[in-house]
Amino acid sequence: MKTDRTRRHTPGARDVYECVTRGIRVRVRPEYRADQSDPDNNYHVWLYHVEIANLGHDTVILRTRHWIITDARGQTTEVRGAGVVGEQPILRPGGKFEYTSGTPLRTASGFMRGFYEMETADGERFKVEIPAFSLDSPHAENHLH
């Protein structure tokens, strides 16, 4: 199976990370939530805004997700499950799906990466890369990206 992948990171106040696999573009924008965090007790919360766009020619359905979340100490947590935010969206050519989720960390920085498993109308399943993205709070001594 040929996989065409491109990655792009746009640095700035509202970092956006992007990856394209087999015509499926995944864009992620992390956001530190100071209002939900408690740095004095090593509790830091991020939201991540995701846009999945079908730039290809086949209709696909997002079947599963697999996240790998790593904190600044190298502690890794894996999250797997059906769909995203309780849905298994169908993406027709030119279509897109957006959602927001979140994660807490016990450190002031970390990163996330993963993949979605998609399925075509004829039952072919393939993985779509979620770009690695940095989780940097204002309390982090060193940024990871």
Task: Say what the pLDDT of residue 138 is.
Answer: 83
**pTM confidence score:** 0.87
Tell me: the pLDDT tens digits for 19-54?
A: 999 999 999 999 999 999 999 999 999 999 999 999
Structural domains for the chain: 5-136 (2.60.40.1470)
Residue 9 pLDDT more than 60?
no
Least confident of 4-8, 76-80, 88-92, 130-134: 4-8
- Per-residue H/E/C for the chain: CCCCEEEEEECCCCCEEEEEECCEEEEEEEEECHHHCEHHHCEEEEEEEEEEEECCCCCEEEEEEEEEEEECCCCEEEEEEECECCECCEECCCCEEEEEEEEEECCCEEEEEEEEEEEECCCCEEEEEEEEEEEECCCCCCCCC
Q: Is 78 left (phi over 0), alpha (psi -120 to 50) or beta?
A: beta
Q: What is the Cα–Cα distance from 55 to 8, expressed in whole angstroms?
A: 16
